[in-house]
Structure 1
Amino acid sequence: MLSSRLPKDLSPSPFFAELERAKADVLAECANADALPFIDMTVSSPVKAGLLVDLDDAVDEGRKVFGNWNPDAAGWKSAREAVVEYYRERGGHFTAGQIILTASTSEAYSVLFKTFCDPGDVILTPMPGYPLLDTLAQLEHLECAPYFLKLKRETASSAARSRNDKTPAGKTAKFRFVLDSDSLLAAPEHAKILLLVSPHNPTGHCVSREEWNEAVRFCEENNMILVVDEVFGDYAFSDKVSRTWQYVFGERENVILDLGVPSAIGEGIWDAGGGDFINLPENGPKCPIFWLNGLSKAVGSPQLKLGWMAFYAPRENFEEIRAALEFVEDAYLSVSAPAQALGISLLPKAAAYESKVLDRLQQNWQTLREAFPSKYCPEVLGGWYAVVRLGEDDEELTLRLLREKHVLVQPGFFFDFDEDGWVVMSLLQDPAIFKEAIQRIKQ
């Protein structure tokens, strides 16, 4: 009766069923205690972590258009221009014609899968990685094949560290995750999309220029689409980290004026006709590239359900690809008027919000690095998560930490680590609570 898109067994796995029982036991044990029943180091919602953005002014400002219905497959132009300004403040130079609004990043994946893939095609996803990607592919009758991130030992001295690197003195990172570009060569014939996540969930890996060049070259040679999930893109821990669109467009100043008219026709600006100017470097990559993001992380508001994709394509393919994306979007028109109105009001506040969150992330990262040698706690270049290898069976360790220490972490197997003993922790938790959790884990 049910679709073959769904897993045959929708019940929780034995481990997660046992984890829920352990949570209930701890809650019952602490019912009368004047303390947290357990410290949740898996918290992924900034709302639950107490990192709220002020919505009052945004709601007041946007309320007057909540009742409007002006359907546009790509999203309101005013909302897309707010996204353009978001990138411009960070050194990026997209135009409104390169932005497609979606109801979430997950929906953006769905749109891309519908636009570029046929049933049975393959998506290349990172391992370790976030399991939602496999689910989204399965729901479109697609398959996922892995490429790998591997641990690399660094030899850089303390003096060579970036000036803004927040790694504690005397704790120079010697291990970090890097892209194993050779693993891309095992891609199946029907691979259509290469998915990069930068910063990566959960390892904190960020794509370097060298890794980027290898990924682009691979996509060009195999006629593939390159998709970059950069929902954590604003949360880099070091000035060593670049947003991957900088590798394509560079960091030129004042390419686009406020009215959308190019200040330098011929310097990467393509006239698509009708005053529609697009930033497409003439000698750019030969494969289409999509960058995914949204309000969920940019202003800590997953409940508002507004995401977007910014894209590049060779000039000869751009209009065809844009028309195809808008065809799929037009079938659903899922982005609500309130979400777009709130996006227009909230995106100018994103930098201030991100600065507050980044302070907490870096504080918790330092606490973690001071507690565990880099051999067991690889360097995090950005994002909301960190991983630690504690050398035990990660299922047993996760359950024991919850039952005995009242600390909840994610087991590494959930993210397809190929070795036992890894656990994943969120860096969003309140710093005092985070420090207490780390002390309990060390014990």
Structure 2
Amino acid sequence: MGKHRFSKRFDALDLASGEAALALSWRVLREQGAAVLDLTQSNPTLAGFQYPEERIRAIFSRTAALPYHPEPRGMPEARQAIAACYAARGWNIRAEDLILASGSSEAYAYLLKLLCDPGDAVMIPAPGYPLLDFAAMLENVRLVPYLPETAGGDRPQITPASLERSAEDGVRAIGVIQPNNPTGAVLLPEEIAALTSFAEARGISIIVDEVFCDYCRPGVRFTPVQSARAPVFTINGVSKILGMPQVKCSWVHVDGPPDFVQAAGERLELIADTYLSVNTSVQAALPELLALRHGIQGQIRARIARNERAAAELMAECGAAEYAPPEGGWYLVLRFPKEPDDEALALALLKEAGVYTHPGRMFGYRDGCRLVLSLITPETDFTEGLRRILAFVA
């Protein structure tokens, strides 16, 4: 490149990592037309669900040519429709405390801009969603993983001790994903209490990613993170609520002490006004689109339940793999006590068994061998793929 250079923020990227090798092999096999079962499919629009396409097209045909009136926080009608969705779950929020963004990654970027200076840190759960690594890198923010306690199986639990062990100077916020991606763990009331007490004591904010909150298992109680003392920013969006990632609309809800909520809202409005990234047509369509959510979510939940039943039956016959039933979300984490390396296992499965999976290390697991599978994979592919995995490690 000669005298030309890129930003130093990219120096931390390891483009030769095992994860990159796995993705490269997957791309080559697809280009060759190889028959590979993709057990990572997380895009509902490519997973065989039935969408009310005519209604969706009709909705957008009515909103496509609207006049443009910039609303930095988002159109009031859109924010009111979102607030109504929360009210239907029993959580009353104010539409004026919502800020729209084009996706959850942009929502994270807004919050990192709001809360952090370059070099500051955000505590994040490990395991967790790899998107955060890139969002933080692009904002020059450090991530500090905190490791919840694991009391048997793979069900981690956040405790005051687990938070204090990971705390360090320069932390401006603590993130939590609920249900967790990929473990599916849903926060217990005592975990929420630990988080809010920790944040209040240290004078930091809580960032909650609840994009999978509509996919909790029957009987699992989902409790939103709220606090009158510590600032809480909650991220969600239509990618999971509607199973429509192509409809680029997410949001941040601001909660906490009233004076902080007002000040944070004003600053987030300035950030959003700089980009104005959420499509006007999408915002205008949002009230009607959100009314379709129950039919789409019902299909996704049914698929998840069928795949979980298939996994339970297959895993009962196999001693080489273990799993903890998820409490929410649409991922399944398999643990292989006798296998030394999950990236090597994922690559071998791809090349030798024709099954594409994600290694646990991609999600921040630091030890053991784990694979992460998508529970919204079409049932036939999921069952056959899992069968191949279990036969491979037997």
TM-score by length of 2: 0.91
Counterpart in 1 of 2:283?
340
Counterpart in 1 of 2:268?
325
8 Å contact kept, 1:216–1:285: no
- One-letter amino acid of the structure 2 residue matched with residue 205 of structure 1: A
8 Å contact kept, 2:158–2:194: no
| Pairwise CA distance, 1:419 | 1.4
Q: How many residues align?
A: 380
Q: Secondary structure at the match of 1:128?
A: coil
Counterpart in 2 of 1:271?
none
| Pairwise CA distance, 1:19 | 5.0
Counterpart in 1 of 2:361?
413
- Separation of aligned partners in 2, 1:26 and 1:191: 42
- Separation of aligned partners in 1, 2:19 and 2:89: 43
| Pairwise CA distance, 1:182 | 1.7
Counterpart in 2 of 1:72?
71
| Pairwise CA distance, 1:335 | 0.8
The counterpart of 1:436, out of the listed 370, 384, 390, is 384
Q: Secondary structure at the match of 1:94?
A: coil
The counterpart of 1:205, out of the listed 158, 181, 185, is 185
In our comparison, the structure showing a higher alpha carbon Rg is: 1
- One-letter amino acid of the structure 2 residue matched with residue 182 of structure 1: A
The counterpart of 2:206, out of the listed 221, 226, 229, is 226
8 Å contact kept, 2:41–2:374: yes
- Separation of aligned partners in 1, 2:194 and 2:159: 10
The counterpart of 1:389, out of the listed 335, 342, 345, is 335
- Separation of aligned partners in 1, 2:189 and 2:313: 29
- Separation of aligned partners in 2, 1:399 and 1:134: 22
- Separation of aligned partners in 1, 2:349 and 2:11: 30
Residues 1:86 and 2:85 aligned together: yes
Q: Secondary structure at the match of 1:302?
A: coil
Residues 62-100 of structure 1: per-residue CA shift (max 9 Å, x gap): 433333211111100000011011111221211211211
8 Å contact kept, 1:413–1:420: no
8 Å contact kept, 1:39–1:408: yes
**Aligned counterparts, 1:278-289, within 5 A:** 284-289=227-232
8 Å contact kept, 2:254–2:261: no
Q: Secondary structure at the match of 1:7?
A: helix
| Pairwise CA distance, 1:351 | 2.1
Counterpart in 2 of 1:164?
none
**Aligned counterparts, 1:36-115, within 5 A:** 37-67=35-65, 68-115=67-114
- One-letter amino acid of the structure 1 residue matched with residue 116 of structure 2: C
1:206–1:423 distance in 2 versus 1, CA, 3 Å: same
- Separation of aligned partners in 2, 1:149 and 1:42: 25
- One-letter amino acid of the structure 2 residue matched with residue 381 of structure 1: E
The counterpart of 1:5, out of the listed 9, 18, 21, is 9
Structure 1, 327-336 or 369-378: larger mean CA deviation: 369-378
**Aligned counterparts, 1:160-309, within 5 A:** 176-185=155-164, 186-245=166-225, 248=226, 284-309=227-252
- Separation of aligned partners in 1, 2:305 and 2:331: 11
- One-letter amino acid of the structure 2 residue matched with residue 198 of structure 1: Q
Counterpart in 2 of 1:281?
none
- One-letter amino acid of the structure 2 residue matched with residue 206 of structure 1: V
- One-letter amino acid of the structure 2 residue matched with residue 394 of structure 1: D
TM-score by length of 1: 0.81
Q: Secondary structure at the match of 2:322?
A: coil
- One-letter amino acid of the structure 2 residue matched with residue 361 of structure 1: I
Residues 111-158 of structure 1: per-residue CA shift (max 9 Å, x gap): 1111111111101111111221011011111100011134322xxxxx
Residues 1:24 and 2:28 aligned together: yes
Q: Secondary structure at the match of 2:100?
A: strand
The counterpart of 1:380, out of the listed 326, 336, 360, is 326
- One-letter amino acid of the structure 1 residue matched with residue 28 of structure 2: A
Residues 1:142 and 2:141 aligned together: yes
Structure 1: 5+ residue runs without aligned partners? 32-36, 154-173, 249-283
- What is the CA RMSD across the aligned residues, in angstroms? 2.1
- Separation of aligned partners in 1, 2:42 and 2:204: 31
| Pairwise CA distance, 1:175 | 5.3
1:372–1:181 distance in 2 versus 1, CA, 3 Å: farther
